[in-house]
Structures are given as C-alpha cells and as structure tokens.
Amino acid sequence: MRTPLRLLTVAVLTAAMEMMTPSSAGISVPATHPPVTAMRLPTHPALTSQATITPSLAPGLADLANRVAPALVDILATQSNGQPSVGTGIVLTPGGLVLTNQHVIADASSIRATSHGNGNGYRAVLVGSDSPNDLALIQMQDASGMRPAELGNSDSVRVSDQVASIGNGYGEGLGIGIGPVTRLHLTIAVGNARQMDGMIEARTDLRPGASGGAMVTTDGQVIGVNTSCGVAPDTETLTGYGYAIPINRAMQVVSQLLTANHR
C-alpha cells in the first residue's frame, strides 16, 4: 500500500514520534518557560511506503519533501512482546546505514526498514545504540545505492529560522510540517529518569511515528533528528511544538557507535 504525503498546513505544522505505551510519556521544558510537555503517544499504525510525494497538494512543501524523502526510511520494529513500533530513519550511507531514535527500536526482536528512495523493504539489524542520547544506528541488509541525507550544520541554526520536520507520522507515510525555530539549547526532562540537553524546539508539530525523522532547513539539509512532540500539560493535546537532537551532536554519537562496533 502506498500513501501520499499528508501535507499538514495548520499554523505551524506536522511530523513526529513513534508508538510507545502511555507510561513512557513525559518530557517537560524548564519552568522558566511556558509549560510545554513532550511525550510519545500510543498508536497502532500499519507500515506504508511512498517514494514520490504528490506535488499538487502544496508545491512548495512537496518540492522540499521530495528532495528529502529519498534519504528517509520508514521503520517497523517488532518488540520482544510482539508489539509493533513505528518510526523513521535517516540514511547516512549508500550501503544503508540508518540513524534513528533509540526508543523506536528499543527491545526489538526484528526491524524492517522501507526506503522512500526505491520503495523496497529491507531487514535491518542493530549496529549500536545510545540510550541517554536516544539515538541508534541500524544497518539495512543487502542494501546498495541508497541516497544519503544531505547533512547541515546545526550550530548555524538560529531562533526564527524556518525549518521543516519530515517523518512517518502515525505510520501512514511521510508527513511534513514547517515552522520557525522557537528555542535552542533547550534542556528537557524525560520522565523522572534523565535529561536531554541542547535540544532544538520548533513549531513543526511532531506526531507519533516520525521519531527518528529529519528536521531540515528550507534547502533540505538535515539539522536535527526528530525526537519528541509537544503536548499540553496534564493532557494529550498536541501543542504544535517538536523537539529535535542537533545533527552535529548526533553525528558525534554515530562516530562513537561505529568505533565501538569495530573494536
């Protein structure tokens, strides 16, 4: 089944997360700012793939999405308890090395990645993961000729820059949301266990399924890894905010994981 890109053009738009249990919810920003909570929402999606995005819906957004989409994959991870988890991944090499969030593939007994570049599905294996940074590397088996993402410089991102988040929202195919960067170097608390520092906050309205997807500049350069979506305090109402790990930091983790894997 192929699903066209859902171009979500509300005030400041969509993309973000994966399916987890309700008990996994919980990211809040410091109290010095308006209360915003980011959490992973439960969903029960079916994995779909769409290599070409319908441009007639919104030409500007569709052009940007078509530029980025070939370097993205949809991820379906089956957890050890049989529960499916969906997310998104960013292709790093022609051989199919993929960056995603650790929470997308946590406790997975099997992983499958479907390329938006060629529409093919691949079995994938875990290369390494970093739970504190919520990042993981997977390798698509027997993949070749993949189109790597064009990486930008997250250190150059400024508040008010327009960015877009692209990912497999609700497991229904790629969705895109665009809006301004609202805060940088943000520390968010993940439940009561740990903090994630240096996050990018933008009004790109991340949604379940797009975890591990790409936050990009309007030129299509990846500047962040979609990780959390904003919800109103004490509710599950989406606020329109999304949170991403800066790509510069993510690539440092990638280097560390690859080094550890080759020891």
As annotated, the active-site residues are 103, 134, 211
Residue 11 CB: number of other CB atoms within 10 A? 8
The answer to whether 56 touches 63, Cβ cutoff 8 Å, is: no
Give SS3 for 194: strand
Tell me whether strands 135-140 and 222-231 are parallel, antiparallel or unpaired: unpaired
**CA distances from residue 69 to 117, 173, 177, 215, 222 in whole angstroms, order as listed:** 7, 11, 13, 12, 11
Torsion angle (degrees, nearest 10) of CA 43, 121, 119, 164: 40
Tokens of 19: 């399916």
